[in-house]
Structure 1
């Protein structure tokens, strides 16, 4: 009977596997979302897929009806078998039933198996989470992201490793190894971390992510090959935990992922931990208790390090470089005095007046036993809930005025202890601060108030006396806050203080702030100064105006400490002057000038560019209301111009206008950073006010910045509409230009963003807002948007009109959009139009109309479109779809005549300008050479003895097949070019003596690419372009030559016989160290790397390989390329020779290979 019941339960669980499929087939919307999760772009289920709905419903209805027993379970199993057979039968579905958005062959081969894998994995992870997450951690269940390819969208692949499951009990490590690439440099550490986290949560454990102890972190990551792959957090599994008031403990194990080192592959560390605290008390008399204080701590510096083929146990990791906290047991016994209910006990004073009170007082004694043998005796006196209250008496009006109606209060806790190892120690929290509003006048000086502060800290008691002082001198008024005197009391061991057991250390208390104001003689304004002595930072600002004629503003930040805490100096100051406009002619005026100076400061270009979008640029260019906006302005300039030793930033500013009164104003600032790197930035703000600034109907503000980075070889331009409007309609939009001419050369221009299918290259672009006119904002919301983009491969533009309005639970929303992609010569375009209007109730669409159309052409024309009307009302759902897919017109693609490539290429190699004799990287000339007249080197190449001889061109890539040259096809015999040798006079340099050089080429100019490839490919990629002679950068010299050094002695003024003396070798060596050459900057730079030097750190560049799709192994050892474009070109060459390889070869990053 039990066997029968088990079979029934098993059948019901198997039937539950198909619930997601039933949900997916409930509506076209649900089906489309379900298929998208599987990587298929399908909006309607094909009929054979829809037919599965009946089988799924029958299975689930049988289960939900209940009453399944051993007698009728066979019927349920028959239904399940029939459903599985129907899923398998999808492998023979007619291709005509599948939409054009999927590859029919790929769908039939993959979808049936993929669907079963998906359903089983989702069931295990959702319905049987414990088993499912355990199987995923072991590696039986695997989830991996598959990037979009062909007609497949990106998706997460769910699978069960059936091939490894059968071998699990024979070799369980093989399952883990295959799932996580264990034992390789490509260990899937992130995935392993996530699966462990999910498994712990599934089993109900408390799982936390916490940082490691710094010493443990240092040891576990020592020798990491790639510091960027170091994990910041450990994963802690709490096995036992209790946080009750009397007993607190936590026992568990943590896991930390170990990075790869030079001698070991990635792995993980298991770190056990245990710590606990217990406080119990027993009433022994009224208000008195006997207290027990017990503490246990396991040294967290113990760990088990697991790497492929190696297991180590480390102890005392926390003690590396210092004293480790040992495992210890602590026990204290004592007596506590406290009134019930937390009622305070008044030690001095009266209940409603001035008093000193506490909530509890305890005396404890005990001992601590440590694993390192350092035991100790302890004695402590602890006071909790202390409070000091000072109030004036009922009849003392003077004290009431000074102390205030409610008086002054200060809270504190205090612990005074003694240890046989540490001596006296002191702990405390809270503090007492008394502010006395004195208002004492001493001539031109007024003491506004006094502040007395006592704030105990660990091991010391600082006592501060500060005064707020106001001084007036004619029209100038100054306020100084917190200036005064500070004394620090500490308790050094062995009564070694300057007052016996106490050490008294007085010092000056710097003011926390200074404020100035002036009003007189036509001048008005003010300023401020912030002082932070601990950080060594001073910041201030000044704003001064003279009779509305001229306004001077200054803001600065002075730091006396560098960001790492070391001593240093850095200054940043901005000064501007705005005045009555000075006429420059043609309606233009000069409204202001200014400048910026940064000493030991650098210029962060990324925050500076972002300042265009968030308005931070306004804190640099002629800032407004400096005193009111002091905090924001100072934070902005500190973030954009941080301290950096040895760097300097400076530049002028100007404010221009046009019209009287000013209708258009332009604020410009040119910034230059030197010496290394050299960077320039031009930032500005353009404002348009029509018809006048006071009553502007049209207000447009454009923030912009252009930067030029010579080190990175990058030019950028960013602009953004900021707080702009026409009447009441808001204007928004961003623009960006990127020009890179270094190793990663690229070009990009956009206004309002990009085509929705285009992923821009990583060029420091923020999220760009569309160029938009917001007609209505809020409810209703109506806006018009547009964009235009230009890359080296494409031209993109589009527009969109969107509407949304709500009223209670009902809403209406819709859009009309156009997106276009254009290619010139040969002319080709793709235009997509979309429209939608829907009425929804409670968030669900009740009525919707959707239209999608695309037109591609010409020669031939291809038009595709779909219109759908859907009506959904609670219990019914009606959808009508009309579509068309037609092609018309003749395929009259003009085939331009093939062009000659060899002659332009040969001509490029003949040009003297393409031959270079460069100095080796890091080498110095050591000597100055005369300028060679232009006529002497017109047709000659001047080669320095240290020079590297190389030649490179940009006509066509070398060592690859090209099937396109600009807009034409190349001659058939001129599609592959290679340099086999180089002849210099009688010497021949073969390929074994030549290095390959690379230059940036636009792939679309040399290879046929479809629209999807153009959108996703790099605008420029490196291809072989020339050669360099190997070894020409080696410094060659003769043997060491001995030289006898002599010096002449001359007596002045008497004429003597000239005598020459031989220099003593040791003395000559001493003099050499102090001569001009030895002190020059060049003398400190290494001329050549020493073979004994440590190897330099190098960042590995991403490489691409041509791999077999079935094994994910390289098709051949030499098919490794520096760029994806080169790999794509090589794959095209291979498949052209053997078309059967097209489905077997794939280009992938090298780090993804097995």
Structure 2
């Protein structure tokens, strides 16, 4: 396969009217085709001539640089490319021109096709009170730059990406920061050592990719580069990954670095780098940063953090990972943490430091795999000694989880010993229950003889407390095992009397004003006032574009249930509600999130297969009858917003688009603030609905309102299946 450089050259030649199918030719040459190699040889001069013409078009008009590149055209290109430099006052401008090559079977050296119309430039400055440099990469669709300039105690760093795809909107990303040495003192030992910002036009923040790169430090390295010129290539690719092109989406926000307790040449005790970004029009806030505690040889900790506030998803997500951290110079420190808070449907709260109880699923929250918070002995000079301790703590809406382990080992070839102790515990609040797993043991080996002892067990309670213990003892000639179960205390308090009148429980729901609300009244062209929280109690304002809806969260309607609010019913019951009032007609159903397992008696198999949360019927829409006699005059207040015209001086200052040979796309970015305001349709093109379920019995498939309804119907005979699944005919097996 042709590499990316060959692909870029093929596109450039095609744009210049030279259609050789270079990519296919290279593929054939790589496969050993002598005829394809002959075609390349026959057209080598034409290919190199056109490639060099395109190369000169991409080079900025820097005095002496174009002349220096003329020598590239007259020499046989090297597989490593060609580098040319030109002096410009106190600056040294350099350009590296890559070449497209292909490996030919049977030949030791690769076959050089031509210079590629894509180049990387560099700039070095060495003048009194002014030093630094820069890097520039030009390709047909992207212009990438990075620079670092020092002026006395101030150092300015930056990177930029500009893409102008043919026929598509241009996208721009700029990262800029200024560093102060020494830091600007703010008082109480705090200092401001860096300030800057990130601006992206037609770019978005890829929080999922940032979250994936927290553990290896790649996210913080891209947002807060130490040397953007030295690491230009890696930095550009990381910025493309974390801020991908997204037409109609803008990103902006400040970056800063704070320090605390300056230790002189050793740096600061605490250093914090942070970027606070706003993505529009999604109204998504992203906080990304790194906190460093450096107190050698006692502690060296780096904590990378990513926080996200997504208003549209009604979600707050925070992730943190320890990177390259050590304690006492001999321990490696590892661990991660996560926080998830959702006030949408379904609502949930998850806080985890170091992970969860083994096997626990935090669904519906989406949490990446966690690494336990741990200390591990890291002494290459003592490879025979091992020591590790780790632990975790997690809190969810209905559970508290904690656990940890310690392992110690010594291996001296002839003699070895290993011991460990571990504990995992989970507490559920409703109903209250404690479950603990524990394990401990040690083992010794001397030459070919070994022995040891291990113990494990569980603790459950209350009602009654149940302790199960297993002990295994390994001797030289025989093994001994023993296990037993102990029960302590009463079986628990007497159960509450069963509920006989389920409908009576709904009486309070009818009096609850918050259950009656307006829905579907979003008008993207206007904002209504006053807000719902400023209305008198018991009052609901309904827009003509919306509807009145009544819902409750006590019990799913129309579903046969066995429990409500943790209390058992005197039998399986189904509750329903109907609207019967003058001037009101019951409309369509209204669904909400419920956990069916809290209302049904499920077998272990059903609990494993049934979705933990489902949208079940919680109420209905209310259709109001028109009453002309009740019409009232109303005054509507509104605020109008308009865009401020762009400053002509600013447009003139940004005329560098001519120099960058990307005038059309760049001008569109500059002219956007002066364009007429438009209202676009931002309704989603794709929506996700709840999975449909059905029951199959006797060869007949019957649809069900939900998975819970399907499982209940299957108890009468049959199986419950998702609508997209197909029953298997077992007759032929």
> Is the counterpart of residue 611 in structure 1 residue 213 in structure 2?
yes
Residue 916 of structure 1 is matched in structure 2 by 517
What is the deviation of 1:1021?
3.9
Residue 93 of structure 2 is matched in structure 1 by 478
Change (3 A) 1:701 1:482: closer
Change (3 A) 1:531 1:601: same
5 Å matches for 1:750-899?
750-761=352-363, 763-776=365-378, 780-803=385-408, 815-824=420-429, 827-838=432-443, 847=451, 849-870=453-474, 878-893=478-493, 895-896=495-496
> Is the counterpart of residue 634 in structure 1 residue 236 in structure 2?
yes
Residue 126 of structure 1 is matched in structure 2 by none
Q: Is the 8 A contact 1:686 1:701 kept in 2?
A: yes
How far does the alpha carbon of each residue in 1:27-46 deviate from its partner, in whole angstroms, 9 at most, with x for none?
xxxxxxxxxxxxxxxxxxxx
Structure number, greater radius of gyration: 1
**RCO higher in 1 or 2 (8 Å CA, sep ≥ 6)?**
2
- Residues in 2 aligned to 1:648 and 1:454: alpha-carbon distance in whole angstroms: 45
Q: Is the 8 A contact 1:448 1:470 kept in 2?
A: no
What is the deviation of 1:850?
3.2
1:584 equivalent among 175, 186, 195 = 186
> Is the counterpart of residue 521 in structure 1 residue 128 in structure 2?
yes
5 Å matches for 1:37-436?
413-415=37-39
1:707 equivalent among 308, 315, 328 = 308
What is the deviation of 1:835?
2.7
Residue 469 of structure 1 is matched in structure 2 by 85
Residue 137 of structure 2 is matched in structure 1 by 530
Q: Is the 8 A contact 1:838 1:845 kept in 2?
A: no
Q: Is the 8 A contact 1:621 1:667 kept in 2?
A: no
Q: 3-state SS of the aligned residue for 2:514?
A: helix
How far does the alpha carbon of each residue in 1:49-95 deviate from its partner, in whole angstroms, 9 at most, with x for none?
xxxxxxxxxxxxxxxxxxxxxxxxxxxxxxxxxxxxxxxxxxxxxxx
- Residues in 2 aligned to 1:936 and 1:745: alpha-carbon distance in whole angstroms: 25
- Residues in 2 aligned to 1:1012 and 1:819: alpha-carbon distance in whole angstroms: 25
Q: Is the 8 A contact 1:452 1:466 kept in 2?
A: no
Residue 681 of structure 1 is matched in structure 2 by 286
- Residues in 1 aligned to 2:159 and 2:687: alpha-carbon distance in whole angstroms: 42
Residue 1117 of structure 1 is matched in structure 2 by 702
How far does the alpha carbon of each residue in 1:277-299 deviate from its partner, in whole angstroms, 9 at most, with x for none?
xxxxxxxxxxxxxxxxxxxxxxx
Q: Is the 8 A contact 2:467 2:486 kept in 1?
A: yes
> Is the counterpart of residue 943 in structure 1 residue 542 in structure 2?
yes
What is the deviation of 1:673?
0.9
Change (3 A) 1:589 1:732: same
Residue 22 of structure 2 is matched in structure 1 by none
> Is the counterpart of residue 665 in structure 1 residue 271 in structure 2?
yes
Q: Is the 8 A contact 2:149 2:157 kept in 1?
A: yes
- Residues in 2 aligned to 1:443 and 1:1105: alpha-carbon distance in whole angstroms: 76
Residue 297 of structure 1 is matched in structure 2 by none
Q: Is the 8 A contact 1:794 1:823 kept in 2?
A: yes
TM-score normalized with structure 1 length: 0.47
Q: Is the 8 A contact 1:449 1:467 kept in 2?
A: no
Change (3 A) 1:762 1:1002: closer
- Residues in 2 aligned to 1:554 and 1:926: alpha-carbon distance in whole angstroms: 38
Q: 3-state SS of the aligned residue for 1:618?
A: helix
What is the deviation of 1:729?
0.5
CA RMSD of aligned residues (A): 4.7
Change (3 A) 1:945 1:446: closer
What is the deviation of 1:1019?
6.3
Q: Is the 8 A contact 1:450 1:466 kept in 2?
A: no
Change (3 A) 1:483 1:1013: closer
What is the deviation of 1:982?
1.1
> Is the counterpart of residue 1102 in structure 1 residue 691 in structure 2?
yes
Gaps of 5+ in 2: 1-32, 53-62, 101-113, 626-675, 728-733
TM-score normalized with structure 2 length: 0.71
What is the deviation of 1:551?
2.0
Residue 378 of structure 1 is matched in structure 2 by none
Change (3 A) 1:958 1:478: same
- Residues in 1 aligned to 2:533 and 2:475: alpha-carbon distance in whole angstroms: 81
What is the deviation of 1:894?
5.0
What is the deviation of 1:995?
2.6
What is the deviation of 1:617?
2.2
Change (3 A) 1:383 1:998: closer
How far does the alpha carbon of each residue in 1:152-205 deviate from its partner, in whole angstroms, 9 at most, with x for none?
xxxxxxxxxxxxxxxxxxxxxxxxxxxxxxxxxxxxxxxxxxxxxxxxxxxxxx
Change (3 A) 1:1097 1:604: closer
What is the deviation of 1:672?
1.0
How far does the alpha carbon of each residue in 1:990-1027 deviate from its partner, in whole angstroms, 9 at most, with x for none?
xxxx4322222455655678999999986654332111
Q: Is the 8 A contact 1:758 1:1016 kept in 2?
A: no
Q: Is the 8 A contact 1:526 1:542 kept in 2?
A: yes
Residue 977 of structure 1 is matched in structure 2 by 575
Q: 3-state SS of the aligned residue for 1:568?
A: coil
Q: Is the 8 A contact 1:468 1:483 kept in 2?
A: no
Residue 450 of structure 1 is matched in structure 2 by 71
Residue 240 of structure 1 is matched in structure 2 by none
- Residues in 1 aligned to 2:233 and 2:307: alpha-carbon distance in whole angstroms: 26
What is the deviation of 1:860?
1.1
- Residues in 1 aligned to 2:194 and 2:464: alpha-carbon distance in whole angstroms: 61
Change (3 A) 1:539 1:925: closer
Q: 3-state SS of the aligned residue for 1:769?
A: coil
- Residues in 2 aligned to 1:1028 and 1:1153: alpha-carbon distance in whole angstroms: 34
Residue 174 of structure 2 is matched in structure 1 by 573
What is the deviation of 1:826?
5.0
Q: Is the 8 A contact 1:431 1:453 kept in 2?
A: no
Q: Is the 8 A contact 2:48 2:115 kept in 1?
A: no
Gaps of 5+ in 1: 1-381, 385-411, 418-424, 435-441, 457-464, 487-506, 1033-1078, 1090-1095, 1136-1140
> Is the counterpart of residue 953 in structure 1 residue 567 in structure 2?
no
> Is the counterpart of residue 597 in structure 1 residue 199 in structure 2?
yes
May I ask how many residue pairs the two structures share in their alignment?
609
- Residues in 2 aligned to 1:809 and 1:1107: alpha-carbon distance in whole angstroms: 65
- Residues in 2 aligned to 1:1007 and 1:721: alpha-carbon distance in whole angstroms: 43
- Residues in 2 aligned to 1:557 and 1:1105: alpha-carbon distance in whole angstroms: 52
Q: Is the 8 A contact 1:759 1:1016 kept in 2?
A: no
- Residues in 2 aligned to 1:997 and 1:770: alpha-carbon distance in whole angstroms: 42
Q: Is the 8 A contact 1:450 1:467 kept in 2?
A: no
Q: Is the 8 A contact 1:1002 1:1019 kept in 2?
A: yes
Q: Is the 8 A contact 2:320 2:336 kept in 1?
A: yes
What is the deviation of 1:829?
0.7
